[in-house]
Amino acid sequence: MSAASTPIAAIGETRLLPEHVDNALISEQVSRVTETEAPLGWWIYFGISLMGLGVLGVSVSYLFWEGIGAWGNNSPAGWAWDITNFVWWIGIGHAGTLISAILFLFRQRWRTSVNRFAEAMTIFAVICALLFPSIHVGRPWHIYYTLPLPNQMWMWPNFKSPLLWDVFAVSTYFTVSLLFWYVGLIPDLATVRDRAKSLTRKRAYGAFALGWRGSNRHWRNYERAYLILAALSTPLVLSVHSVVSFDFATSVMPGWHTTIFPPYFVAGAVFSGFAMVMTLMIIARQVYDLKDLMTMKHLENMNKIMLVTGSLVGYAYSMEFFIAWYSGNEYERYVFINRATGPYWWAYWWMVTCNVISPQLFWFKRCRTSIPIMFAISILINIGMWFERFVIIVTSLHRDYLPSSWGYFSPTIVDIGCFVGSLGLFFTAFALFIRWLPQIAMFEVKAIVPGSQPSHHGPSHHEAPAGAPALATKEA
């Protein structure tokens, strides 16, 4: 083992996992979480989340009873927190796909410790995201109008509307993410099944493990399926947030009608998603003591990605401002000056401080490797990205063309309840996930442990043919 790390050290790289990590330790550390009593930390986390979920139940029930007038939305600000929350949640979901699919295609092996986590986060975030447009329609029992189903009006949906593209993009995204996540879980569910002591556990995990037996004839198709799903998810994730940005970009609102939106939204989505993965990972790592598998190296790599995407977002903010001035369009110019200095100036500067300035601390290695600092910055980024969507949506709408139709949006208690409640839904689902499912992709981590792959290929493995010169290998 130490011989295998010599070439790694020679090129100045450190190993991804500590030296003592082997296959049995990985199975033990990850599966143990689902087999033992939950620690106190989990109950505290779960309890708080469940209260949040209760808030959601109350808020949404009241909203359905009263109608969406219970929100602060008005004319001209017909979209406000609801769509802000939708875009924010979708963006958070995107890091999961990025980590699981794009980093897979780029053979970034450090992803194996975090991808399961991030994929679960994607699923729960997309559920929260889907909630908001559904309750925003006002009469949610008519939501099926958005689907191409025969209905009593004898009309079909308008396929030229980006809102309809969104229906297809987000529901496809949810389905594909769920399939990707489940396919990844199958071999690990088999591990949990094989370790199970009670028949109930064996049956419950076994049913979902589909009788997986680690057969190489299966791995062959399995790995191909995984590759194809990754290759499909990569353009999908870019398309989903592009389509979300089309909701704005195809309109004629100043501040929305820009071609920079699709890449700008995608960068922001990745940025906020990584921040949310970081927040959750730090909590789970502390509560469940998984420091051998989620190492500082993993956290540092993620911080580097946040630095890059945060700077991209900062570039987009300044370019947007510059183009607004350069366009010579007075409405466009006004919207941007109004964002920074108008009635919502505080939201704009929250956004800039959290998203552009705070991640710059990650230039320093001391900040990149300090748990308290990265935890604080990840929370700040989550806040900042929420404000970004709020700024884009509300500051553009509240003062558009005619000063006579200007207005101001303030949230009501129901707005706040729905948002806090969606956090409750997300964290409750996440708490159940880390309690009952393998939260690290065991088989993928095993595959990158030193010595887990054959040292070399070819027919002469152990004994060189008599008389032939001995092959020089790394082990020799």
Residues that bind another protein (CB under 8 A): 22-24, 27, 148, 154-162, 164-165, 168-169, 172, 175-176, 179-180, 182-183, 187, 190-191, 193-195, 206, 210-225, 228-229, 232, 235-236, 239, 243, 246, 443-444, 446-447, 451-455, 457, 459, 461-462
In this structure, which long-range contacts are made by residues 191-200, counting pairs with CB atoms below 8 Å and at least 24 apart in sequence?
Answer: 191/27, 191/31, 191/438, 191/442, 191/443, 192/31, 192/34, 192/35, 192/438, 195/27, 195/31, 195/35
b/e map 272-281, b = 16+ CB within 10 Å = bbbbbbbbbb
Least distance CB 159 / another protein (angstroms): 5
Closer by beta carbon to another protein, 212 or else 419: 212
The SS3 call for residue 225 is helix
- Give 331-381 as a DSSP string: HHHHHHHHHHHSTTHHHHHHHHIIIIIGGGGGGSHHHHT-HHHHHHHHHHH
Q: How far is the CB of 189 from another protein (least distance, A)?
A: 9
Nearest to 287 by CA among 35, 46, 26: 46
Which lies closer to another protein via its Cβ, residue 50 or residue 179?
A: 179
Output the smallest distance, CB 161 to another protein, in A. Answer: 7
Nearer to another protein, 186 or 416 (CB): 186
Written as six digits, the tokens of 147 are 């689907």
- CA separation for the pair 443, 465 (Å, rounded): 34
* Alpha-carbon dihedral angle through residues 201, 440, 282, 181, given to the nearest 10 degrees: -90
Residue 366 or 457 having the CB closest to another protein: 457
Length of the chain: 476
Nearer to another protein, 68 or 253 (CB): 253
Report, in Å, the least distance between residue 331 CB and another protein.
20
Q: How far is the CB of 212 from another protein (least distance, A)?
A: 7
In terms of CB distance, is 194 or 292 closer to another protein?
A: 194
Q: What 3-state DSSP class applies to 364?
A: coil
Q: Alpha carbon of 261 to those of 83, 149, 154, 206, 266: distances in Å?
A: 16, 31, 35, 45, 8
CB of 1: closest distance to another protein in angstroms? 12
Name the nearest CA neighbour of 359 among 264, 277, 271. 271
| Residue nearer to another protein on the CB measure, 328 or 459 | 459
* Of 81, 115, 113, residue with least CA distance to 98: 115
CA triple 280-281-286, angle to 5 deg: 105
Q: Closest CB to another protein among 191 and 279?
A: 191
Which CB atom, from 57 or from 451, has the smaller least distance to another protein? Answer: 451
Q: How far apart are CB 195 and another protein at their closest, in Å?
A: 7
Q: How far is the CB of 399 from another protein (least distance, A)?
A: 25
Q: What is the nearest approach in angstroms of another protein to the Cβ of residue 206?
A: 7
Q: What secondary structure, in 3-state letters, does 244-301 show? A: HHHHHHCCCCCCCCCCCHHHHHHHHHHHHHHHHHHHHHHHHHHHHCCCCCCCHHHHHH
Minimum Å gap between C-beta 428 and another protein is 27
